[in-house]
Amino acid sequence: MNNPENPSNNFIRNIVEDDLASGKNGQRVVTRFPPEPNGYLHIGHAKSICLNFGIAAQYNGTCNLRFDDTNPGKESDEYAQAIKEDVQWLGFEWNELKHASDYFDELYDYARELIKKGKAYVDSSSAEEVREMRGTLTEPGIESPHRNRSVEQNLDLFERMKNGEFEEGAHILRAKIDMASGNINMRDPTLYRIRKVTHMRTGDDWSIYPMYDYTHCVSDAMENITHSLCTLEFEDHRPLYDWVLDELQTPAHPQQIEFARLSLEYTMLSKRQLIKLVEEKQVSGWDDPRMPTITGMRRRGYTPAALRDFCERIGITKNDAWIEMAVLETCIRDDLNEKSPRRMAVLDPIKVVITDLPEDHNETLSFANHPQNESFGRRPVAFTQQIMIDRDDFSEDPPPKYQRLVPGGEVRLRGSYVIKCEEVIKDEQGNVIELRCSHDANTLGKKPEGRKVKGVIHWVSATEGVKAEVRLYDRLFTIANPLSADSLESVINKDSCITMSSCFVEAALADAQPEEQFQFERLGYFVADRRDHKSGAPVFNRTVTLRDTWAK
RNA sequence: UGGGCCGUCGCCAAGCGGUUAAGGCACCGGGUUUUGAUCCCGGCAUUCGGAGGUUCGAAUCCUCCCGGCCCAGCCA
């Protein structure tokens, strides 16, 4: 399953393979990823993107990117541009870039065909009346008084709707199916509504816009899609998808197949709710590194390869599955472990003075950039009399099995010498402000003689290191399913973003480029922030911590 | 209560009438290690929501029951 050469099967791949074997679509596999450009893509969309583009790639097919832009007013080119960027960033190339609005003319003509066949009619009932006549889940609906208008009258009204002669809400075009159907989608669904707003592409050309259920199947057919993959909530819409294509002489009749949407613990993948987080400024924007959006994850330092691996690992089924965050984090670590050069950074510094070294001591050490891969090369690291270590790596009252620095104890400075804590300096409040240590000059690249020193801690030269800001991110919510809470606000993790503003990083990090990724040894994987990082003022985001098996 | 769908290890997920019921994550050991990281090795479902039935043989077929999800936008 983890082997890209041999991906685990899923029921959709099985269907595609069966179709290929039977010659159903003449050996063609054509899929599409059809977002509405009304928001940013999130990791749930990534699942769909990987599925659609992945199926196409695996079976020598093609995949289109199609914007489902049938609801002007909610949609914008800004979103469309962002979606294109996200899909490309994830590593996919679409065959054709399409818009549902490309088919507005054909859709209109097909609607006239439906009217002529007596399969569609203009209803002049109000929205409320339509709702009342629809019935309920358990009771059938009743037929509209306008249901039996003549073809001529319907054609005339529909044309005048198109010409903008009526106000919004005055009429709708409905399919004439079955008001008593157990499937509410078949109770004379709306095909067109009047909307007098400017469309992102067609401007004011139209005053009627087709509904999703009518548009999607026709668009799929126009593009000769073979397998139209969508999420489970559209299962009930499939009979309508098929009804429309059965009534019309479209070039093809694609097969709609539904799979379960992604649910990821400790986050939330509802576009509506995500918009709220942005608007209410619970996060800094769509690309806040805590957001489950593609752009947010990118800024967080998640990689395209890791996200693709994640989508492969979680599988495709019809089960309502909740994926643990650990799966995602493992994918990120696996990729970054292999690809990230190592560096040292101290987030919460305590000064350490090596008292048995001259004040101007400055020794250049050579560090491997990757412990398992020599091709990463080496870098110089300055070791000086004054260094910084992380506050967590010193304790006067250590917990059991603590392997770091304690008063009178020894610890290895990574890649350097073994030091011993001789004296603890505190301020008036009793806070530790400095440690005075001695070093064993015979431990550079060698084990100390006659004793074992188990602990290894990272450090940065206090005089040669560079100041930096580091942002520590954590899960956005305190509970696995935030939508189950009374209010989102009550379950937001207040500690999900902690800014450490007086960090010390090794000099080699001053030249990092935005989006460049590193492992800060013993701390985790970090990325130079794509917006705020400057070479004179480095800013890093913690992508994910290292796996930590030490019970805290 | 109408219609549609789903139930295989803590979390995912293969499996499609004959397998000791894959694999991943998590977890628990053990080894290597100047990152408590990585890597390596080992452990982890006599059982497939439950009960009946069909069959030489059932997670796979049938029946009933139990649990869960979706649908009443002129949203997608």
Domain contains A120: yes
Determine whether A220 is exposed, middle or buried from the number of CB atoms within 10 Å of its CB (0-12, 13-18, 19+).
Answer: buried
Q: What tens digit of pLDDT does each residue of A341-389 get?
A: 999 999 999 999 999 999 999 999 999 999 999 999 999 999 999 999 9
Query: Are residues A140 and A17 part of one domain?
Result: yes
Query: Are residues A245 and A352 part of one domain?
Result: no
Give the integer Cα–Cα distance in Å for A63 and A33: 7
Domain contains A161: yes
Nucleotide nearest to A313 (CA to C1'): B24
Domain contains A330: no
Domain contains A431: yes
What is the distance in angstroms measured between the alpha-carbon CA of A520 and the sugar C1' of B35? Answer: 9
- Say which CATH number the domain at A21 has: 3.40.50.620
Give the integer Cα–Cα distance in Å for A95 and A45: 18
Determine whether A547 is exposed, middle or buried from the number of CB atoms within 10 Å of its CB (0-12, 13-18, 19+).
Answer: exposed
From A464, A488, A517, the end of a domain falls on: A464
What is the distance in angstroms measured between the alpha-carbon CA of A254 and the sugar C1' of B4? Answer: 20
Nucleotide nearest to A371 (CA to C1'): B38
Secondary structure (3-state) at A542? strand
- Structure confidence at residue A8 (pLDDT): 72
Q: Catalytic one among A147, A196, A261, A420?
A: A261
Give the integer Cα–Cα distance in Å for A230 and A257: 6
Tell me if residue A281 is catalytic: no
DSSP H/E element including A19:
helix A11-22
Tell me if residue A119 is catalytic: no
Domain contains A420: yes
Query: Are residues A359 and A245 part of one domain?
Result: no
Q: ∠ CA A15-A17-A20 to the nearest 5 degrees?
A: 110
- Structure confidence at residue A4 (pLDDT): 38
What is the distance in angstroms measured between the alpha-carbon CA of A75 and the sugar C1' of B75? Answer: 12
- Structure confidence at residue A91 (pLDDT): 98
Reported in sequence order, the residue ranges of A211-254 that DSSP labels E, i.e. its strands, are: 227-231
Domain contains A113: yes
- Say which CATH number the domain at A454 has: 2.40.240.10
What is the distance in angstroms measured between the alpha-carbon CA of A359 and the sugar C1' of B75? Answer: 70
Query: Are residues A214 and A348 part of one domain?
Result: no
Query: Are residues A32 and A139 part of one domain?
Result: yes
Query: Are residues A255 and A347 part of one domain?
Result: no
The total number of residues shown for chain A amounts to: 552
Q: Show contacts of A395-403: CB within 8 Å, 24+ apart.
A: A396/A424, A396/A432, A401/A550, A403/A454, A403/A455
The residue among A341, A291, A343 whose CA lies nearest residue A523 is A343
Q: How many helices (H) and strands (E) does chain A have?
A: 12, 27
Q: Which two tokens stand for residue A430?
A: 């009793």
Tell me if residue A359 is catalytic: no
Q: What tens digit of pLDDT does each residue of A207-256 get?
A: 999 999 999 999 999 999 999 999 999 999 999 999 999 999 999 999 99
What is the distance in angstroms measured between the alpha-carbon CA of A393 and the sugar C1' of B34? Answer: 16
Nucleotide nearest to A73 (CA to C1'): B75
Nucleotide nearest to A443 (CA to C1'): B34
Q: Is the separation of the CB atoms in A404 and A322 below 8 Å? A: no
What is the distance in angstroms measured between the alpha-carbon CA of A312 and the sugar C1' of B16? Answer: 22
Give the count of domains, chain A: 2
- Measured to protein CB atoms, the chain B nucleotides within 7 Å are 1-8, 10-16, 22-28, 34-39, 68-76
pLDDT tens for the 552 residues of chain A, in order: 333 344 578 999 999 999 999 999 999 999 999 999 999 999 999 999 999 999 999 999 999 999 999 999 999 999 999 999 999 999 999 999 999 999 999 999 999 999 999 999 999 999 999 999 999 999 999 999 999 999 999 999 999 999 999 999 999 999 999 999 999 999 999 999 999 999 999 999 999 999 999 999 999 999 999 999 999 999 999 999 999 999 999 999 999 999 999 999 999 999 999 999 999 999 999 999 999 999 999 999 999 999 999 999 999 999 999 999 999 999 999 999 999 999 999 999 999 999 999 999 999 999 999 999 999 999 999 999 999 999 999 999 999 999 999 999 999 999 999 999 999 999 999 999 999 999 999 999 999 999 999 999 999 999 999 999 999 999 999 999 999 999 999 999 999 999 999 999 999 899 999 999 999 999 999 999 999 999 889 999 999 999 999 865
Q: Catalytic one among A24, A84, A271, A420?
A: A271
From A444, A464, A484, the end of a domain falls on: A464
Query: Are residues A350 and A251 part of one domain?
Result: no
From A464, A499, A527, the end of a domain falls on: A464
Nucleotide nearest to A186 (CA to C1'): B3
pTM above 0.90, yes or no: yes
Give the integer Cα–Cα distance in Å for A444 and A436: 19
Q: Identify, with chain letter, the residue nearest to nucleotide B26 (CA–C1').
A: A326
Give the integer Cα–Cα distance in Å for A376 and A311: 29
Q: Is the separation of the CB atoms in A63 and A53 below 8 Å? A: yes
Structural domain of A170: 11-259
Domain contains A421: yes
Q: Catalytic one among A36, A75, A469, A521?
A: A36
Domain contains A490: no
Q: Is the separation of the CB atoms in A524 and A340 below 8 Å? A: no
Query: Are residues A369 and A233 part of one domain?
Result: no
Query: Are residues A230 and A379 part of one domain?
Result: no
Query: Are residues A242 and A140 part of one domain?
Result: yes
- Amino acid A274 reads L
Number of CB atoms found within 10 A of residue A286's CB: 21
Query: Are residues A242 and A349 part of one domain?
Result: no
Query: Are residues A234 and A356 part of one domain?
Result: no
- Structure confidence at residue A2 (pLDDT): 36
Secondary structure (3-state) at A312? helix
- Structure confidence at residue A541 (pLDDT): 98
Residue with tokens 């690249």: A445
